[in-house]
Amino acid sequence: MIYLSERDIVKLNVIQIKRYSPKE
């Protein structure tokens, strides 16, 4: 398993939000 730091998790969350949230 790959250990993710809190910063990495936040980065991934932000990327997912940008991907899945509709652009206005």
Residue 1, pLDDT score: 67
What is the three-class DSSP state of 4? coil
pLDDT tens-digit profile of 1-24?
678 899 999 999 999 888 877 776
User: Cα(18)–Cα(24) distance, rounded to whole angstroms?
Assistant: 11
At 5, give phi and psi (nearest 5°).
Answer: -75, 170
Residue 3, pLDDT score: 82
Residue 12, C-beta contacts closer than 8 angstroms, at least 6 positions apart: 4
Residue 11, pLDDT score: 94
The answer to whether 15 and 7 have CB atoms below 8 angstroms apart is no
Residue 4, pLDDT score: 81
